Structure 1
Amino acid sequence: MKKIMITGALGQIGTELVLKCRSLYGNDNVLATDIREPEPASSLSNGPFEILDVTDRKHMNQLVESFQPDTLMHMAALLSAKAEKNPIFAWDLNMGGLMNALEVAREYDLQFFTPSSIGAFGPSTPKVNTPQVTIQRPTSMYGVNKVAGELLCQYYFEKFNVDTRSVRFPGLISHVKEPGGGTTDYAVDIYFQAVRQGKYTSYIAQDTYMDMMFMDDAIDAIIQLMEADGVKLINRNAYNLSAMSIEPEMVKASIQEYLPDFELSYDVDPQRQAIADSWPNSIDVSCARAEWGFDPKYDLNKMTEVMLEAIKQK
C-alpha cells in the first residue's frame, strides 16, 4: 500500500484507521471520505477529506480518478442494532455501497479491504471455539449483509482477480469514538460511564460472553493483513479475529481494580440481547495467526487501564 482511500472515515473504525494510515504512509497519501463533514477541530483535518455517499458509484469513481489510490478500504456501513431497526436502508447502504466499492476496485485494479463481523455467524454456528469455516446462518439483517459481503468479496477475487481481503471483527473497544449502534457497544459505554458516573446499566445480560478486541489491535490487524503476502492467504475473506471472550461481570471486575466503587446493574434490551445470543461465545483465530501472523497485544486488564486513563484525560 502506498496511497489509500477510506470510506466511512468518521465511523468507529474509520477514524482511527485514517490516523494510523496517515502516520505510516503520509498525510497526503490517505484520502478520508464520509457522508458528512468532520467537526472543525477533527483529528482528520491533517489530510485530504471528501464528502462521499457510497451508494453513489459515479462520485466514487470520480474521487478515485482524481486521487489515484492503489488501495480502497471500504468501512462505510450501518451497524447491527441500527440495521435491525431499518433493514431495507441497511441492505441498500451495506450491500449497495459494497458493490459499488468492489466495482471501483475492479475497474481501477485496487487492493481492497472491507470488514466482516462475528455477526456473520448465527444460532446454529458452534458457539465455543467457533471454526474459521463453519455454518453461517445469521438471524439479523446486519449478519445477512456480512455473509453476503464475504461471498461477494470472494466472488470478485475468483472472478475478476481483485485482491480482496477481510476479517471478522469481534466487538471493538475504543476511547476515541463513543458507541455508534452496535450490539457489543456496552463494552465501550461501560468505560465512559464508569469515569463519568461511577456506575453503568448494561443492556446485555450477565453471563453473555462475546468476543472483543481493543481498537489498537484491530487497526494493526487491518494493516498487517493488507501488507501480508497474498500468496499465503487461504481464508482471505474473512479471517476470524478476537483478543478476548468476556461478559459484563468480567468488565466490572476489571474496572473495579482501578475504580473500586464502580457499580454495574442490568436493564436488558431484548433486541440486542437476541442478537448477542445468536453469536459465538469464543472464536478460533488460528488461521489468522498462521497465515499472516495475527497477534493481539491487549488483554482485558491492559485494555481497561488504557481506556480509563484516556477517558479521564478527556
Structure 2
Amino acid sequence: MKRILVTGALGQIGSELVVKLRELYGEEAVLATDIRSNSSEAAQSGPFRLLDVTAADAVFEAAKDHRADTIIHLAALLSATAEARPLLAWQLNMGGLVNALEAARALGCQFFTPSSIAAFGAGTPKVGTPQDTLQRPLTMYGVNKVSGELLCDYYFAKYGLDTRGIRFPGLISHSAPPGGGTTDYAVDMYVEAVRQGAYTSYIAKGTFLDMMYMPDAIRAVVQLMEADASRLKHRNAFNVTAMSVDPEAIAASIRRHIPHFELDYDVDPVRQSIADEWPDAIDATAAAEEWGFRAEYDLERMTADMLAKLEEKRRPDQKIS
C-alpha cells in the first residue's frame, strides 16, 4: 500500500485505521472520506473529502484524484441499525460496495472490505465455527456481508482484482462511539463503568460472542493487506478472533479494577435475536496459517487498557476510583 483511499473513515474502524495508516505510509498518502466531517484526528490529520459511496462517479473521482493504489471500503450501516432500516442498508452496504469495487477495477487498486461474524446464521456451528461452513443469516446486515464476500470473490475470479477481507468479531474501542452494532454493548459497558460504575446490558447473561480489541483489528488489516498474495487461499473472509466472552465475563474483568461495578439486564429482543444467530467462538486457523494472524490482547489486557484510556478522557474530578 502506498496511496490509500478509505471510505467510512470516521466510523469505529476507520477513525483508528486512518491514523495508523498515516503513521505507516505518510499523512498525504491516505485520503480519508466520509459522508460527514468532524474534528477527529482522522478527519484533521491529513487529506479529507466528503463522499457519498452510493454515488458511483464520486467514488471513482475520489480514488482517481488521489491516485490511489489501494481502496479500503468501510462505509456501511451496522447490524442493529441495518435491521431497523433494511432497504437503506441494502442500498448503502451493497450499492456502496459495488461502486468501490468498480472504482478499484477501473484503476487497478488493491481492495479491502470487512466482513463480520454476522455472515453466519442459526445453522452455522456455534463453537469452533469453521472458516468454510454454512452461511444462512436471517438479518439484513448478515445477508449484506455474505453477499459482499461472494461479490469480492467474483471480482477476484472474474477480473483478477486483488480483493482481501476479514470477518471481524465484535470490536471494542475507546476512540469512537458505538455505531449501531449488536456487540456495542461491550463498549458501552466499559464507558458506563468509568462514568457511573454501573451498566444495564441489552444482551442476555450467558450470550457468548467473539470479541477483539481495536488495536488487534487495525494490525490485522495492515498485516493482511501486506501479506504475500500467493499464500492467500480464502482472501475475502478470514475468520479472526481474540476472545469469546459474555457480559458476565466482561463485568468480572472490570471489577478487578472497579470493584463496585454493577451489571444489570434489560434485554432488547431485536438485538438479542441477532446475537443468538452468531457463533459463540470461531476458528481463526486459516488466518494464522495464511498470513500469520495472532491477537495480542486477551480480555484482561484489553480491560486494563480500555479503562485506563477512558479515564484519561475524563476530567480529574469525575474519575472513578
Range into which the TM-score falls when normalised by the shorter chain: over 0.9
C-alpha distance in structure 1 between counterparts of 2:68 and 2:143, whole Å = 30
Matched-pair contact (CA < 8 Å) for 1:195–1:311: yes
Matched-pair contact (CA < 8 Å) for 1:172–1:184: yes
Matched, 1:28 2:28: yes
Task: Give the partner amino acid of 1:285.
Answer: A
Q: Note the alpha carbon deviations across 1:126-178, whole angstroms, 9 max, x for none.
A: 00000000000001000000000000000000000000000000000000012
Long gaps (5+) in structure 1: none
Across the aligned residues of Structure 1 and Structure 2, the Cα RMSD in angstroms comes to: 0.7
Shift of 1:42: 4.1
Matched, 1:291 2:276: no
C-alpha distance in structure 1 between counterparts of 2:44 and 2:236, whole Å = 32
Matched-pair contact (CA < 8 Å) for 1:116–1:166: yes
Which structure 2 residues correspond to residues 21-100 of structure 1 after superposition, within 5 A? 21-39=21-39, 42-100=41-99
Q: For 1:81, what is the secondary structure of its paired residue? A: helix
Q: Note the alpha carbon deviations across 1:73-105, whole angstroms, 9 max, x for none.
A: 000000000000000000000000000000001
Percentage identity across paired residues of the two chains? 61
Q: Identify the residue that residue 122 of structure 1 maps to in structure 2.
A: 121
C-alpha distance in structure 2 between counterparts of 1:6 and 1:255, whole Å = 34
Q: Identify the residue that residue 241 of structure 1 maps to in structure 2.
A: 240
Shift of 1:8: 0.1
Q: Structure 1 residues 94 and 175 mapped into 2: Cα distance closer, same or farther (>3 Å)?
A: same
Shift of 1:44: 2.9
C-alpha distance in structure 1 between counterparts of 2:25 and 2:97, whole Å = 25
Q: Identify the residue that residue 158 of structure 2 maps to in structure 1.
A: 159
Matched-pair contact (CA < 8 Å) for 1:52–1:60: yes
Q: For 2:128, what is the secondary structure of its paired residue? A: coil
Shift of 1:67: 0.7
Task: Give the partner amino acid of 2:168.
Answer: F
Q: Structure 1 residues 161 and 43 mapped into 2: Cα distance closer, same or farther (>3 Å)?
A: closer
Task: Give the partner amino acid of 1:228.
Answer: A
- Paired residue total: 313
> Structure 1-normalised TM-score?
0.99
Which structure 2 residues correspond to residues 1-314 of structure 1 after superposition, within 5 A? 1-39=1-39, 42-314=41-313
C-alpha distance in structure 2 between counterparts of 1:119 and 1:169, whole Å = 9
Long gaps (5+) in structure 2: 314-321
Matched-pair contact (CA < 8 Å) for 1:19–1:44: no
Q: For 1:175, what is the secondary structure of its paired residue? A: coil
C-alpha distance in structure 2 between counterparts of 1:216 and 1:165, whole Å = 19
